[in-house]
Amino acid sequence: MIKPISSRGTIVAKTGNEIAAEAMRQIEPDVVAAYPITPATEIVQIFSQFVSDGIVKTKYIAVESEHSAMSATIAASAAGVRAMTGTSSQGLCFMWEMLYIASGLRLPIVMVEVNRAIAAPINIHGDHSDTMGARDSGWIQIYSENVQEVYDNIIQAINIAEKTQLPVLVAMDGFIISHCMEIAEIYNDNAVKLFIGEYKPTRYLLDIKHPYTLGSLDLQDYYFEHRYQVAQAMSHANKTILQIANDFNNIFGHEYHLYEKYKLDDAELGIIIIGSAAGIVKMAINELRSKNLKVGLLKVRVYRPFPREYIIKDLAHIKAIAVLDRVDSCSGAFAPLYSDVVSALYSEGITTPKVINYIYGLGGRDINIEHIKSIYNTLNKILLDKEEQYNKINYINLRK
Amino acid sequence: MIINLQTLSKTREHLTGGHRLCAGCGAAIVARQVLIAAGDKHVVVTSATGCLEVSTTIFPYTAWKDSFIHSAFENAAATCSGLEVAYNQLKEKGKITDDIVFIAFGGDGGTADIGLQALSGAMERGHKILYVCYNNEAYMNTGVQRSGLTPFGARTTTAPVGKIYQGKKEDKKDLTQIMIAHNIPYVAQSYVGNWKDLIQKVQKALEINGPSFINVLTPCRLGWGYPPEDTMDIGRLAVETCVWPAYEVENGNYRINIKPQPKKPVIEFLKKQGRFKHLLKEENKYIIELIQKNVDQKWKFLKKQEWLSLYPL
């Protein structure tokens, strides 16, 4: 057990990218393999300067592609060291094959992912299309609302990955977080190093006294069990994530859960959202609450594993819910977060909340407080509408 | 370095028998000889997806006595570079004291087509790794499809012989020259059928402080269409006809290791293989002539390069 120590940090003004690089400096992984891509480039730029100046002893592999970034990170992790990478958008798409291999081989890699739209049309701005595409790849996905959360999530991710033996992706919204400067608290180096501890792999390839084969061919007789183990590890991971959040809070005084509730407990109308847009939802709530409207928010922090059994308890009493997805699924049905929320509710027999889906903010399209207020307004109408004539799938701030 | 069979026979086996590769498989011979060449060195092996990997690592079995990693098809070089960097780090931190060498295996497709980018990147970054391409000149694991290294005129399942086309229409790309152009310290061509040539080259490569690459012509009895017992002979014929010159380039200096006397006509190599059978037809004779012409040109080029290395301008 890590003893709480006096480590209350320093207040700084940093962008999401800068603070991610700062977290990586403090973590000082053994190996970082990365490839530049907007808007994540800055992270590895800043970090490689740390390497160049000898501030960190990390070995930096300037690979020739994201596919090789993930491949080299996988190999380094398998070799027995703490390995990290970062990417965005098309880069994550290019890694896609390797994402499943990282989780299938149970390697505790941490990746910083700056959310960006995916082509075509090419667009460099923030939405969740990239990481949502990887939602079933066996990576734990943790999203951040602001610069502080980016920093805190990256530090916690190291422990989460190493305890669960699953790779962890820490996401932040492109430009909105990655390039916007905010006030944040950073902790002292030693406290962070103590929190993450020294990496001690249980089995590693460079242990030449105990050689083994990693990445075998599984036929019909083993593949199913091995993939089941990944799924099991994922479904057990929430407990570990909560435990680590608790330890983190004890030491650093910042509280985290699988999701954040904002004025939700007595709410009749709720919004569920991921990432930076939660900020304006909170602002809208404050305004509407002053008019005695019972509105609340559930902001998903840990999207994978999806906190199914936790979330339903906090949603059962809500009368109308809007799930806001910063991604469209092109499935002909609903977007990912909506599908997860509704199936979680329905599977537990909770069918009272009326749940609708909003698609917003693709390619960095703005969403403002008026949009959020209009969503609560719609939810209110749904509540009063006995005929149940309302759209299940809605688009906000879109020219049709 | 003195190499004799007596010493080699006492060297530890890194790749055990009992794997599921075909009888007469060239890839198994390459892997075994390359690792025998490593001798008592500690090795960590990487393999691209392919015959060698799928046939040696069927869970829960493994034919590899060293640590072995496979992750995907196109990334053996990137994987190997990740291992090497992690090793350097652990060595610097004093967490590892033993010396380890890193060897990657990939077939021609995994190396020169889908894996060319990763290979090029790894070589450019200068990792101390040995990459061995077991080049059987087609995608054998998926059932003999043409690759960028399939030679002109060869029949494959995606460059079949038909009423209009007579096998592969294009010449193969010269992977060894591509690697030479990376200006790495050691590049070589070797082949199955001459253990001494391959072992010497591997030992040389493992002593070099930087990236090294060996392109090994690896007959595939299934894809090339010949009886399993002919693997060695076919490999040798490739060298004796100069279809596959055995040469090496050390720090930019060329050396042709085997100069066949006399240089046999290419038909001697072609006629033994099912993949070239259609070329023996009267109407396809011109294709053999083209192949011969091409081989002669490349042989001339190599001799010129060797001359320039011996007698610089």
pLDDT per residue over B163-174, tens digit each? 999 999 999 999
The answer to whether position A280 is within a domain reads yes
Question: Can you tell me the mean pLDDT for B88-99?
Answer: 97
User: CA-CA distance, A187 to A195, in Å (whole number)?
Assistant: 11
**Residue B1 pLDDT:** 58
The answer to whether position A1 is within a domain reads no
**Residue B231 pLDDT:** 98
Q: Are residues A140 and A70 in the same domain?
A: yes
Q: Are residues A286 and A194 in the same domain?
A: no
Kindly state the DSSP code that residue B160 receives in the 8-state scheme: -
Report whether B270 contacts B288 (CB < 8 A).
Answer: yes
Query: Taking an 8 Å Cβ-Cβ cutoff, which residues of chain A contact chain B?
Result: 30-31, 33, 57, 59, 61-65, 67-68, 71-76, 78-81, 83, 97-98, 101, 105, 205-208, 211-219, 222
Write phi, then psi, for A296 (nearest 5 degrees): -150, 175
Which chain A residue shows the shortest CA-CA distance from B61?
A216
Contacts of A308 (CB under 8 A, 6+ apart): A340, A344, A347
The answer to whether position A337 is within a domain reads yes
User: CA-CA distance, A392 to A357, in Å (whole number)?
Assistant: 6
Best of A32, A71, A84, A223 to substitute, by most chain B Cβ atoms within 10 angstroms, is: A71
- Closest to B98 (Cβ–Cβ): which among A63, A65, A208? A208
Q: Please report residues of A whose CB lies closer than 8 A to that of B64.
A: 211, 213
Q: Answer yes or no: is pLDDT of B201 > 60.
A: yes
pLDDT class of B300 with cuts at 50, 70, 90: very high
**Residue A4 pLDDT:** 44
Contact A59 B88 (CB under 8 A): yes
The answer to whether position A3 is within a domain reads no
Q: Are residues A248 and A263 in the same domain?
A: no
Contact A31 B69 (CB under 8 A): no
**Residue B205 pLDDT:** 98
Q: Are residues A387 and A284 in the same domain?
A: yes
Contacts of B284 (CB under 8 A, 6+ apart): B153, B166, B278
Q: Please report residues of B whose CB lies closer than 8 A to that of A30.
A: 86, 89-90, 93
Whether the CA torsion A241, A246, A248, A254 is positive or negative: it is: positive
A–B interface: beta-carbon pairs under 8 A:
157
Q: Are residues A245 and A263 in the same domain?
A: no
Q: Please report residues of B whose CB lies closer than 8 A to that of A67.
A: 74-75, 78, 117-118
Report whether B276 contacts B270 (CB < 8 A).
Answer: yes
Q: Which CATH class is domain B5-310?
A: alpha beta
Question: Can you tell me the mean pLDDT for B90-119?
Answer: 98
Point out the residues of chain A with pLDDT beneath 50. 1-6
Write phi, then psi, for B147 (nearest 5 degrees): -120, 180
Contact A214 B67 (CB under 8 A): yes
pLDDT class of B272 with cuts at 50, 70, 90: very high
Q: Are residues A321 and A233 in the same domain?
A: no
Report whether B121 contacts A68 (CB < 8 A).
Answer: yes
pLDDT class of B2 with cuts at 50, 70, 90: low
Q: Please report residues of B whose CB lies closer than 8 A to that of A71.
A: 71-72, 75, 78-79, 82, 118
Domain limits of chain B?
5-310
- Closest to B117 (Cβ–Cβ): which among A31, A65, A76? A65
Q: Two tokens at A152?
A: 């805190």
Residue A77 Cα to chain centre, angstroms: 21
Question: Can you tell me the mean pLDDT for B87-110?
Answer: 97
Q: Are residues A158 and A242 in the same domain?
A: yes
The answer to whether position A177 is within a domain reads yes
- Closest to A206 (Cβ–Cβ): which among B54, B100, B122? B100
Contact B59 A217 (CB under 8 A): yes
Return the CATH number at A182.
Answer: 3.40.50.970
Contact B44 A63 (CB under 8 A): no
Return the CATH number at A382.
Answer: 3.40.50.920
pLDDT class of B5 with cuts at 50, 70, 90: confident
The range of the structural domain enclosing residue A173 comes to: 10-252
Q: Are residues A222 and A85 in the same domain?
A: yes
Domain boundary among A218, A252, A286: A252
**Residue A385 pLDDT:** 78
Write phi, then psi, for A49 (nearest 5 degrees): -70, -40
Helical axes B116-125 vs A66-79, angle rounded to 10°: 70
Contact A67 B75 (CB under 8 A): yes
The answer to whether position A108 is within a domain reads yes
Smallest CA–CA separation between B71 and chain A, in Å?
Answer: 6
Q: Are residues A194 and A83 in the same domain?
A: yes
Q: Two tokens at B132?
A: 């061995």
**Residue A7 pLDDT:** 54
Report whether A26 contacts A151 (CB < 8 A).
Answer: no
- Number of compact structural domains in chain A: 2
Which chain B residue shows the shortest CA-CA distance from A63?
B121
Q: Answer yes or no: is pLDDT of B259 > 70.
A: yes
The answer to whether position A4 is within a domain reads no
Question: Can you tell me the mean pLDDT for B177-205?
Answer: 98
For residue A380, CA distances in Å to A270, A318, A320 come to 10, 12, 8
Contact B67 A208 (CB under 8 A): yes
Closest C-alpha among A244, A105, A111, A114 to residue A169: A111
Q: Are residues A241 and A350 in the same domain?
A: no
User: CA-CA distance, B248 to B243, in Å (whole number)?
Assistant: 15
Q: Are residues A200 and A244 in the same domain?
A: yes
3-class SS shares of chain A: helix, strand, coil, % to 5: 40, 20, 40
Q: Are residues A178 and A201 in the same domain?
A: yes
Per-residue pLDDT tens over the stretch A287-321: 999 999 999 999 999 999 999 999 999 999 999 99
Q: Which residue has the higher pLDDT, A385 or B237?
A: B237
| Average predicted confidence (pLDDT) for chain B | 97
